[in-house]
Amino acid sequence: MNIDLVIFDCDGVLVDSEVISCRAHAETLTRHGFPITPDGVLKRFLGVSDREARQIVETELGRALPDGFEAEVKQATLSFYADDLNAIAHVGDAIAALDIPTCVASSGTPEKIRHGLVCAGLYDQLAPHIFSAVQVKRGKPAPDLFLFAAEQMGANPARCVVIEDSVPGVSGARAAGMTVLGFFGGSHCTAEHEDMLRKAGAAVTFADMRELPGLIAGIGAKTPVM
């Protein structure tokens, strides 16, 4: 198969966490004078790094959020994770069926990514190849994180396939010269989600992780040998 690497986003692709994460952010932002619903967080910040989302909020507020803001969001998120977080259905089996190197490239912090994967029972399957937006200058939709992951894994970007559920993620992977599969099977996905991913540049869209090995094989068969 002419593919060097499969890169997974984390939230909404590996773990069904977007609804939980949006709830934690919404409650914390509202408490600090930026009233917003979980649905509002989802629509505005899906796929955006925590660092860049904070910059947007502070610009609109006209003031800085408190120093402990991230810690408050983290505490709320981890509390919700312990009770409510699950892996995306069938994703563990799909990863196990891939005879290709895999890694994670997520907008979340390393602590959040690790905790989510541990709670969902996926950490041992993917560690240590886990990369965070805090390791690069620009988060998604810039290509930096995807290019960093490919470099760390010794992969040619043109021979990488990315699994993403957000428009910024699809855009960033495309900017990195990678093929993107748009996943819309998370509990946060609306009826419009598939169309949004296609318009952003996803080569294929799918909602069931059991399809993934076959989709990867099909892309590999079409990828030129380099």
- Digit-coded pLDDT (tens) for 187-207: 888 889 999 999 999 999 999
Mean pLDDT score, 54-77: 92
Structure confidence at residue 27 (pLDDT):
95
Q: Do the beta carbons of residue 205 and residue 181 sit within 8 Å?
A: yes
Structure confidence at residue 67 (pLDDT):
92
- Most confident listed range (31-35, 73-77, 106-110, 113-117): 31-35
Asked whether residue 79 carries a pLDDT value surpassing 90, the answer given is: no
Residue linked to tokens 């995807």: 146
CATH 3.40.50.1000 in the chain is located at: 5-17+86-222
Angle at 5 between CA 3 and CA 10, to 5 degrees: 135
Q: What is the CATH architecture assignment of 18-84?
A: Orthogonal Bundle (1.10)
Q: Do the beta carbons of residue 197 and residue 205 sit within 8 Å?
A: yes
CA-CA distance, 15 to 125, in Å (whole number)? 13
Tell me the pTM: 0.82
Structure confidence at residue 151 (pLDDT):
98
Q: Is 194 helix (H, G, I), strand (E, B) or coil?
A: helix
Q: Do the beta carbons of residue 209 and residue 88 sit within 8 Å?
A: yes
As a CATH number, domain 5-17+86-222 is: 3.40.50.1000
Structure confidence at residue 225 (pLDDT):
59
Q: Do the beta carbons of residue 102 and residue 127 sit within 8 Å?
A: no
The one-letter amino acid code at 71 reads A
> What average pLDDT does the structure give for the chain?
93
CATH 1.10.150.240 in the chain is located at: 18-84
